[in-house]
Amino acid sequence: MKTPITITVNGEARLIDVEPSDVLLDVLRTGLGVKSPKIGCERGDCGTCTIMLDGRTARSCLVLAIETDGHEVLTVEGVLQNGELTELQDLFIAMNSFQCGFCAPGIVLAAREFLAANPDPSRYDVQHALAGNLCRCTGYEPIIDAVLAAARGITEEVPA
Ligand code: FES
Ligand code: FES
């Protein structure tokens, strides 16, 4: 039986009816039209469905939507600042960090959370922090380069 819930998604209260077994990933994408969380492994392994739930990253494929009633979800659509990409997102673009982009929404959120807690990370720190977000295209190095550049306040320089 469907139950009405209200989730605040990217700052906007959204009312939707969900089945007890509906996962948040499907409700966001199909029910609410929020498409940045991607459908990957659907078992918590790949990180492509990453969202922020009440300020912390979560795998939306592992969260029952009904349990998010009254909670706050942030997706990459919601991280824009005054309609502009963040500095971190600009660096990802400048450094050609992504190819197909399928992993990008999850990695942006994971990197953003990581940098907030670790403003001066080592390369290993970044590798470790993003280990749960798989990318099939890039070999990870340009992603890590951009996160390190963001931490160092580099906005334009592209490392060789
Ligand atoms: S789809 Fe959720 S972790 Fe892979
Ligand atoms: S850029 Fe294609 S999966 Fe990461």
User: Tens digits of per-residue pLDDT, 91-140?
Assistant: 999 999 999 999 999 999 999 999 999 999 999 999 999 999 999 999 99
How many whole angstroms from 60 Cα to the centroid of ligand 2?
Answer: 19
> Contact, 150 vs 115, CB < 8 A?
yes
pLDDT single digits (tens) 20-46: 999 999 999 999 999 999 999 999 999
Phi, psi of 81 (to 5 degrees): -110, 110
Of 102, 108, 140, best ligand 2 pocket probe by most atoms within 8 Å of the beta carbon: 102
pLDDT tens-digit map of 1-22:
999 999 999 999 999 999 999 9
| Ligand 1 center from residue 39 Cα (angstroms) | 6
Q: How far apart are the first and last CA of the chain?
A: 57
By C-alpha distance, which of 98, 137, 105 is closest to 34?
105
Q: What are the chain's domains?
A: 3-78 (3.10.20.30), 87-151 (1.10.150.120)
Which ligand neighbours the alpha carbon of 28 most closely?
A: 1
The answer, yes or no, to whether any atom of ligand 1 lies below 6 A from the CB of 72, is: no
Q: How far is the CA of 75 from the centre of ligand 1 (A)?
A: 14
User: 3-9 and 50-53: which strand pairing?
Assistant: unpaired
pTM of this structure: 0.94
Q: Which ligand is nearest to the CA of 26?
A: 1
Whole-angstrom CA distances from 157 to 53, 81, 141, 142 are 33, 22, 16, 13
Alpha helices of 95-153 — where are they, by DSSP H?
Answer: 104-117, 123-129, 141-151
Does residue 103 line the site of ligand 2, with CB under 6 A? yes
